[in-house]
Structure 1
Amino acid sequence: MRVDVVQGTPFGVAYPTFQAVPSGQATGSLVAGIASVLVALFAICLGVTGAKDGWGLAASGAFTILGVFLGGGAIGLGLYGLRRIRRAGGQGITGRGMGISGIVLGAVGAGLALLALLASVSTG
Structure 2
Amino acid sequence: MDVVSGTPFGLVQLRVVPITSGLAIGALIAGIGSILVSILVICFGFSSGGPWVAGAFTVLSVLAGGGAVTAALLAMRQIRRSGEPGRVRFTGRGLAISAIACGGSGAGISLLALLLGLVLQTS
Q: TM-score range by the shorter chain?
A: 0.7 to 0.9
| C-alpha contact 1:40 1:63 (8 A) present in aligned 2 | yes
Counterparts of 1:1-124 in structure 2 under 5 Å? 3-49=1-47, 52=48, 54=49, 56-89=50-83, 92-124=89-121
Task: Compute the displacement of 1:89 (Å).
Answer: 4.3
- After TM superposition, the structure 1 stretch with the greater mean CA deviation from structure 2, 40-49 or 99-108, is 40-49
Q: Which amino acid aligns with 2:106?
A: G
Alignment partners' CA distance in 1, 2:83 and 2:15: 16
**Which runs of 5 or more structure 2 residues have no equivalent in the other structure?**
none
Alignment partners' CA distance in 1, 2:26 and 2:81: 19
Task: Compute the displacement of 1:120 (Å).
Answer: 2.0
Task: Compute the displacement of 1:8 (Å).
Answer: 4.0
Query: What TM-score does the superposition give when structure 1 sets the normalisation length?
Result: 0.87
CA RMSD of superposed structures (Å): 1.6
SS at match of 1:115: helix
Q: Which amino acid aligns with 1:95?
A: G
